[in-house]
Every structure is written in structure tokens, then in C-alpha cells.
Amino acid sequence: MNLGKQFKDGMLTQNPVLVQVLGMCSTMAITTSFFNGIGMGVAVTIILTLSNVIISAMRKIIPDKIRIAMFIVVIAGFVTCVDLSIQAFLPDLANSLGVFIPLIVVNCIILGRAEAFSYKNGMVASFFDGIFQGIGYTWVLLAMCIIREFLGGGTFGGGVLGAVNEAGQHVGIQIFPADYGIGMLTLPVGGFLVLAALIAAMQWALARPKKDKEESK
Amino acid sequence: MEIFKLLSITLGAILANNFIFSQFLGCCPFLGVSKKVDTAVGMGVAVTFVMGLASAVCFVVNKYILIPLDLAYMQTVAFILVIASLVQFIEMFLQKAMPALYTALGVYLPLITTNCAVLGVVLLNVQNGYNFIESVVYGITGGLGFLLAIVLFASIRERLVFADYPKCWDGFPIALITAGLMALAFMGFSGLKVW
């Protein structure tokens, strides 16, 4: 078991969103405010960690042929728990994430990690894999939220910081007037474009050291 | 009135609220299975079929099993099980009855289980309070919207081979930019309303 490598894999070299390109739907759909990003990231991290541990614990008794169905049942159970908890304790978050909380069931990151990692590795390693992959997913969500919110409406930390509007929600700290923002980025189009830019930056960054080595040879 | 409501659901699901371009449901197969037009058509047709069938079955399961037994909180688990077994069933049926189509769809068929558009449409049916016919129409037209999007996208992507762009944009980033521009075009439909 190599914690350092697992950490680096989750954050960068095997980042679930930027490198493995899994779980695109939620990444693009809900990253319109800081609050959504944190909520979704934490929810996915918790579910991923729990399901990784349970699937790893059961990996020897799950028959190979019906493993996908078993994974989905385990994941759906945890998603239901988290969904009900969010509805009970954080109704604002439940409203703004809407159908995307139950849809964590079919988020490819969780099923992907179950199939690729926890079905083959021990419980402790799977536990850390869940946490690191979850944090890797969360930071990408937050990066997208910050970029889209700032360029789109000139605010920072929507839903968490700043003044409170009539609906009782924080609107975020206004850095420049909303009229000057690129409104398009807060619409679905912005999700595609910002994610494209982030993945391109990642590919550029990952390709660079290799190129240097090749040149030095 | 009924027919107008169905018409408005249809137009909404195919154009104005397209599952991919405005609701971000089903992005994984949309990006993964769109390198060639013919596989994209196969995937789109299969998804449309499963979405229509899943809408019908899940409506019945929800109305006649979950709600009378006061088990509405089990919706997510019940629906995903219905979808998974439905996909398995379709797979076995196609293998026996239409082996040609089965081999053409290949690995994409089991992948439909984890397509969030299918679970999404079922959950949205419940959330919007649609009745049986509306649910089925929403399921099928949502699938047609997906088919339209993935076929258009695949035909653009085939031409991207000849495009000249920086190396680090290779693969997904350039595909996402294309999808973004298509989403922008589809926003033109957002004023479309049938009352």
C-alpha cells in the first residue's frame, strides 16, 4: 500500500474528472455556485468512501457475474441515506442540487472505482482510495464553481459568503458588477467550455515533463 | 388540452430542454460513444427504447407498489433495480431474437444501466407528477432528443480529425468545446413554447 502514490493519483495523475473523464454530468450541471460544489463534493466523497469499504469487504463473496448489480445496490443504499439526510438537514442544498443527488447512483466515478479498485484491493487501501478520489473530484468541482461564478457574475463564494438576499440565501462577495460578467458561463454552455479548458490544461501539464525527458535524451 | 400538453412535453424534451444540452443528463455515453455516426445511432436508438420502457415500468412500480406500501423513500433503489433488470432482459431478448442488432450494440448495451439520462427521466417523471401517458411520452421524446444530439455530435466529431488545433486539446477537450457550441445553438430553442 502506498498512500503517497494513491494521494497523487487521486489529485492529479488519475484524477477522476480531469484524467479518467468520469462523472461528467454532475460536474457540468451543478457547478454554478460555491455552495453546490462543496455540497456535491462532500456527498460524493462520503458515498464513495463508504461504498468502497463495503464492496472491498464483500469482494470475496460477490459472484463475478452479478457484481455490477451488487455494486449498484450497495451504492444506491448509501445514496438514499445521504439523499434523505440532505433533505432533512440542508433543504437549501437539496433544492439547488435537485435530481442530481439521487443521480449519484449512476455517477460513473463510484461504479468505476468499485470495479477498478475496491473489487481488487483490501479495505484500508479502498478506504483511502475513496477519500483521495473524492477529494480529487471535489477540488475540480470547486475550481469550476469558482471560475464560472467569478467570470459569469463577478461573485465569489455564492451560497456560503456575502450578503443575504430576500430568499435568505447568501449571494456571495461581489468583486465586480454582475453586468460586466460573461453571463454565458453560468448557463449550460459555460459548463462545457470551462471543463474543456481544465482538461486541456491538465493534458498540457501531464504531457510537459515527458516531453522534457524525451528532449534531454 | 391533453394533446397540447403532450406536444409541449415533446418539443421541450427534444429541443428546448434537451437532455444533454440543457440538463446535462447522459453526458458520459454522449462523450464516450460518439466517435462514429453508426455507433452513435445504435446507442441513441437503444437509449430511446430503454427510456420509454423504463418510464412505463417505473411509473407502474411507483404508483402500484411503492406508494401504497408507503415506500416512496426507496424510489432510487427500486428504480435503478428496475432499469438494471430491464437492460439485462433487453440484452437477452436481443441476443435471441435480433443477433445482428445485438452484436452491433455490443458493449454499449449494458452501459445503458449507468446512463444517468435513464434514471434521470424516471425521477423527473415522478418530480413533475406526470401521469402514465405523459411519462411514456416524456421518456420516448427525451430519448429522441438524446438521439438527435448524439448523431449531430458524432457527425461533427468525425470531421474534427481534419481540424487544426493545439495538441493539448486533443480528445475530450475539443469534443467538449464542440458540445458547448452545440449547446449554445440549442439555447436558441429556449423561447419555444406551446401553450
Which tens digits make up the pLDDT trace of A12-55? 888 888 887 787 878 888 888 888 888 899 999 999 999 999 99
Domain span holding position A60: 3-208
Q: Which helix (H) or strand (E) holds B156?
A: helix B132-159
What confidence tens digit (pLDDT) does each residue in A126-151 have?
A: 999 899 999 999 999 999 888 888 88
Burial of A53 (0-12, 13-18, 19+ CB in 10 A): middle
Res A19: pLDDT: 82
In a domain? residue A152: yes
| Residues in chain B within 8 Å Cβ distance of A25 | 24-28, 116
Res A217: pLDDT: 45
In a domain? residue A177: yes
What confidence tens digit (pLDDT) does each residue in A89-131 have?
A: 988 888 888 888 888 888 888 888 888 888 888 888 899 989 9
Lowest model confidence (mean pLDDT) among A43-47, A108-112, A167-171, B116-120: A167-171
Output the furthest CA–CA distance in chain B (Å, rounded).
Answer: 59
Q: Are B54 and B118 in contact (CB under 8 A)?
A: yes
In a domain? residue A160: yes
Q: What percent of chain A has pLDDT over 70?
A: 89
pLDDT top residue among A186 and A50: A50
What's the rounded Cα separation, in Å, for the pair B118 and B26? Answer: 8
Secondary structure (3-state) at A177: coil
| Rg of chain B, C-alpha, whole Å | 18
Res A162: pLDDT: 63
Q: B74 and A111 in contact by Cβ < 8 A?
A: no
In a domain? residue A46: yes
In a domain? residue A214: no
Q: Are B61 and B132 in contact (CB under 8 A)?
A: no
Selected residue of A36, A51, A105 to mutate for chain B interface (largest B Cβ count, 10 A): A105
Which alpha helices (DSSP H) does chain A contain, by range?
3-8, 24-29, 34-57, 67-89, 91-97, 108-113, 123-153, 188-216
| Residues in chain B within 8 Å Cβ distance of A24 | 24, 27-28, 31
Query: What are the cell numbers at A86?
Result: 440532505
Confidence grade of residue B54 (pLDDT, cut at 50, 70, 90): very high
CB atoms within 10 A of CB B95: 13
Q: B119 and A83 in contact by Cβ < 8 A?
A: no
Residue in A closest to B27 by C-alpha: A25
Q: Are B175 and A207 in contact (CB under 8 A)?
A: no
| Residues in chain B within 8 Å Cβ distance of A88 | none
In a domain? residue A215: no
Q: Are A197 and B173 in contact (CB under 8 A)?
A: yes
Query: In this complex, which of B110, B123, B168 lies closest to A207 when CB atoms are compared?
Result: B168
Total CB pairs under 8 A between chain A and B: 122
In a domain? residue A217: no
Across the range B149-161, mean pLDDT stands at: 90
Res A138: pLDDT: 92
Res A215: pLDDT: 53
Overall number of domains in chain A: 1
DSSP secondary structure of B21-83: TTT--SHHHHHHT-SSHHHHHHHHHHHHHHHHHHHHHHHHHIIIIITTTT-GGGHHHHHHHHH
Across the range B25-33, mean pLDDT stands at: 81
In a domain? residue A52: yes
Tell me the pTM: 0.84
